[in-house]
Structures are given as C-alpha cells and as structure tokens.
Structure 1
Amino acid sequence: MSQPELSEDELLQRAGRGDARAFDQLYDRLAPRLFGLLRQMLYDEKEAEEVLQEGFVQLWERAPSFDPERSKAFTWAVMLFRHKAIDRMRMLGRRNRLVDGAVLEQTTLGGSSQAADEALQDAERGEAVRQALNELPKEQRQLIECAFLKGLTHHVIAESFGMPLGTVKTNIRRGLLRLRDLLKGGA
C-alpha cells in the first residue's frame, strides 16, 4: 500500500527540518506556479529563472521559520518570491538609470548644439549596452557593474564577493571581451 501524498505544508515543514527529499517534492509542486508569477512580474524569462533559483535557495534557508498556523505553504512561498522579484526589479531599475544617466552625461558633455539624431544614437547605444550586459553570465555582469557602474576597485569587489583578486580581474576581463563581441554583433 502506497503512502498518502504529503501536503505542501507538510513538505515545507519537513524541508525546514533538513529533509532534502521533501524539498525536492516541494520544488516540483511549487516551481511551475512560482515561475509563472515571476515571469509576469519581471517580463523576462531569464530574470524569472534567476529569481526562481535564488528564491528556492532562500526558501530552503527560511523553511524552519514556516508556521502553518499563520499561512499556507504556497502563500508563504509566494510572499518570499514576490519580495525577491521586487528586489530584482529595483536592481534592474537602478542599472537602467545608471546606463541612461551615463548616456545623458555623455550627450550633454558633447555640447548643447549636438544634433537630435546623435542624441538618439547615444540612447540606442545605451540600450544596446544594457541588453548586452543582460546576456553576460550573472557573475561577470555583477562584477562589471560593481567596477564600472558603482566605481568599486577590484580589491573591494574581491573582498565583498569573497573571491581571489585574480579571479575578479579575470572575470571582469572576460566579461568585457564578451561585451565587446556582443556589441559588435558577434555571438
């Protein structure tokens, strides 16, 4: 006789006690619905996949704090993933504002007599850079953003990511080379 299927609440409670099998089952049940929610919120499948992965890591870490008396497992998970998606939207918004600001600064430094079509080309270049950044592997993108958009030194980046300095420099260089190729139209 087969065992009855556990509820999502029971699976989450077991995951909170370190049961990896329960976590796997919970993932199988929740991931499709949560991915749909994230895709709707972020309008980007790639970003939704990243937030889904990060969200499940956080769910595993926070599972011991789940209280079935206060909410259902799915509701609890939705709130956790919703917050992750909002954080991601804020981060993407900051990145877009930084790139737009850099394009605007470049435009205004070029002189007030700059033609409107040049300003449009600058905006298009900014969008191309933004899209190319999004195509880089996550780690390279983060390191490049820290170095060039936040102005952090390689030493500070290495300390904050807990990486060897040489690894940070290598990943930034590889990311910049890949960014150059993407912007030239190569893949």
Structure 2
Amino acid sequence: MRLPRIRIAAERPPTQEDLLRRVALGDEDAFEALYDAVAPVVFGLVRRIVRDPSQSEEVAQEIFVEVWQKAVLFDADRGKALSWICTVAHRRAVDRVRASQASRDRDLRQGIKEFQESYDDVQDQAVLRADGERVLKALDSLTQAQGDAIRLAYYGGYTHQEVAGLLQVPVGTVKTRIRDGMIRLRDMMGVA
C-alpha cells in the first residue's frame, strides 16, 4: 500500500525588497543577506565610476552604511530595491569623483601659486640686489657729508634729529644734505 504524498510547500526565498524592509527594522541577518546579494553589482558600478580600486572599496563601504541607515526611506511602490541601492551608489560614487577632482584642482592651483611666488621672489631678489649695488655705487659718488647723512637716515634708520646729533650739525643742515644727495642720486639712477 502506498502512502499518499504530502506536499510541503517550499518557503520562497525573500526578495531584495523584503530584505530591505527588514533592514529598515534593524535586522542584521537581512542586511547580511542583502549585502551578499547586491555587493558585486554595487562594487562594479562604483568601480566603473571611481576607477581607483581602493577608493572604490571605501565608497562601497560608505554606500552600505548609508543603506543600513536610510533603508526606511525605501519605497517598494516606487521601484526595486536594487534600483534604489544603485541610485545611492551612483550618487555616492559621483560625489567622490567630484571631491577628488576638486582636491586635485585645489592642489594644482596652490602649486602654481607657490611656484609663481617662489619664481617672483627669486626675480625680485635679483632686481633688488642689482638696484642695491647701483645705489651703493651712486652713494660713493656723493660728497662725504651727503653720503654720511643719507646712510645714517636710510640705512641706519635714524631720524633727522638723531642724524644731526651724530654728525654734530644742525637739523636744517642734515635735511639739506639729504635732499641734495637724493636729488643727485635720482639723476644718477635715471629715476624720473
């Protein structure tokens, strides 16, 4: 005698939408199953956009953290779970590319600025040194009294009053020597 066959209904595996709904409730097992199901697709999408393997891994990790945190925002009536996750992934990957590009642009601008500043500094220093040598030569051609007054005032940093005290002459005489010496220097240097 044969026993009747009893059919046991096989439980259908949960869909990605089911898993995502359970993730929204904090189900870690559902998150693990969802991760296993969609991680290759997510990583492939991110890798095509970001290109760098290590950055792609970081972005994929950020995406799954976001999926865990924002699973409550998923609405099955608006689309499939994989589409929602891929949208999150695409947005996150594009953000990383833009941030990387902005960082490279900033670094490039800063590098150019620093290069120009260093170039300008070298050029300015050379010009100043050449001008300084011309001024010193021109100072040597002044009278001793004019040269001393100008050196003390401009190179020594003394006031007219202090120069007068050091040279033991009246302040008016110091001012005249400096003025006359500066006129001669201007003419010798060819400054208009």
Structure 1 residue 4 corresponds to structure 2 residue 4: no
Structure 1: state its 5+ residue gaps.
Answer: 115-187
Q: How much has 1:98 moved relative to structure 2? A: 1.5
Q: How much has 1:94 moved relative to structure 2? A: 1.6
Give the alignment's TM-score, normalised by structure 1. Answer: 0.57
Partner of residue 94 from structure 2, selected from 86, 91, 98: 86
Q: Which residue of structure 2 lines up, in the alignment, with residue 124 of structure 1?
A: none
Structure 2: state its 5+ residue gaps.
Answer: 1-8, 123-192
Question: CA separation in 2, counterparts of 1:109 and 1:2?
Answer: 75
Question: CA separation in 2, counterparts of 1:100 and 1:71?
Answer: 42
Give the alignment's TM-score, normalised by structure 2. Answer: 0.56
Partner of residue 19 from structure 1, selected from 13, 18, 27: 27
Give the paired residue count: 114
Structure 1 residue 53 corresponds to structure 2 residue 91: no
Partner of residue 113 from structure 2, selected from 100, 105, 112: 105
Larger Rg: 2
Structure 1 segment 153-164 matched on structure 2, within 5 A? none
Structure 1 residue ranges (4+ consecutive) displaced by more than 4 angstroms after TM superposition: none
Q: Which residue of structure 1 lines up, in the alignment, with residue 50 of structure 2?
A: 42
Q: How much has 1:2 moved relative to structure 2? A: 5.9
Q: Percent identity?
A: 32
Partner of residue 73 from structure 2, selected from 57, 65, 69: 65
Question: CA separation in 1, counterparts of 2:78 and 2:10?
Answer: 30
